[in-house]
Homo-oligomer: A and B are copies of this chain.
């Protein structure tokens, strides 16, 4: 911020009051057309750029919303952010993007700063190591509109827009079951995040409904990335061969990539020896040695819906708190065993 042209300078230059300048530049009624023209021209000539900071102070409205992302490099998030930004743009808002790096401390700091900058609302996505929701409650109680997206904190009084995680996990697990696989492993992510929990629940549900056993040794914590998937799969592959699963359902695609690598390095084939499926439809899924069958998450749609709900909360104090669940779609490729060298080999849908 430097020595800038102000409305006062325009006013002085023309011998009118600042208020008239304000009115003219904001297209308010009750300004003589001639005066308005003079003012607009002078503003142009002096290179006037209205000071939004002062405006925000008076109007108590910044037209800025805060967005917290846990990890931008997870391929799903750039699409969500893009959708958020574009929807915000359409509604006359800009976004302050902050990155928590999955750390609760960073997230808390970000939220605090955003609140301090008086954003009109916030879009939050819980960091992986968040343990307590107290801070969320505090912020929400203060009246700042908050909507969670993708990873939600329930019971804190904020709306939530998310993928149908449980249903997705159930669908893809059922797909494996229809193939006839009976010993199905789950590479899970059972930290505090609702996402991992829900997917595990969906997995269990599918298994139980088909009366298949949940084998403790075949449910392994894998985190959220390739390395975790690789390590978890290795653990399973260290069991005796009779204990190997026929198929693996993973909490997300990167974990599936790591697992697939581990399987192939052991000289086993995917899907012939062990089938594998993920959730996300990462950009790399179809490029895998055995293209990955997975669940497509409508990232764009999620971003749009989350921002729309936030705007609704901002514009209407009585907007009801909602849990919005977005449906997903299964993407069938080869890693589940549906195709063999490009040919469909069985009727599983």
Contacts and interface: CB of A to CB of B under 8 A. Distances in A.
A84 to B, nearest CB: 9
B4 A142 contact: yes
Given A52-B117, A64-B117, A117-B64, A95 B97 contact: yes
Contacts of A133: none
B60 A85 contact: no
Among A86, A89, A95, A120, residue most surrounded by chain B Cβ atoms (within 10 Å): A89
Contacts of A86: 99, 101
Contacts of A320: none
Contact of A2 (B52, B72, B143): B143
Nearest to A92: B113
B82 A1 contact: no
Contacts of A52: 113, 116-118
A51 interface: yes
Interface in A78-92: 78-79, 81-82, 85-86, 89
B116 A50 contact: yes
B62 A73 contact: no
Contacts of A144: 2
Interface stretch (A26-34, A162-170, A280-288): A280-288
Nearest to A2: B143
Q: Interface majority SS on A: helix, strand, loop or mixed?
A: mixed
A115 B94 CA distance: 12
Given A77-B78, A142-B49, A60 B99 contact: no
- Copies of this chain in its oligomeric complex: 2
B117 A1 contact: no
Interface in A118-162: 118, 120, 138, 142-144
Given A72-B81, A98-B85, A98-B94, A53 B117 contact: yes
Contacts of A51: 57, 116, 118
A5 to B, nearest CB: 9
A345 interface: no
A17 interface: no
Q: Which of A52, A61, A144, A288 has the most CB of B within 10 A?
A: A52
A56 interface: yes
Contacts of A113: 52, 94
Contact of A73 (B56, B78, B96, B118): B78
A143 B284 CA distance: 44
A334 to B, nearest CB: 14
B49 A115 contact: yes
B85 A78 contact: no
Given A1-B118, A47-B142, A89-B98, 16 more contacts: A1-B61, A2-B144, A3-B143, A49-B112, A49-B116, A53-B56, A57-B57, A64-B96, A72-B85, A73-B79, A82-B99, A85-B97, A85-B98, A94-B110, A95-B98, A283-B283
25 contacts: A1-B56, A1-B60, A47-B138, A49-B112, A52-B113, A52-B116, A52-B118, A53-B53, A53-B56, A53-B118, A54-B57, A57-B57, A64-B96, A72-B85, A73-B79, A85-B98, A89-B98, A89-B106, A94-B110, A94-B117, A95-B97, A96-B96, A96-B97, A283-B284, A284-B284
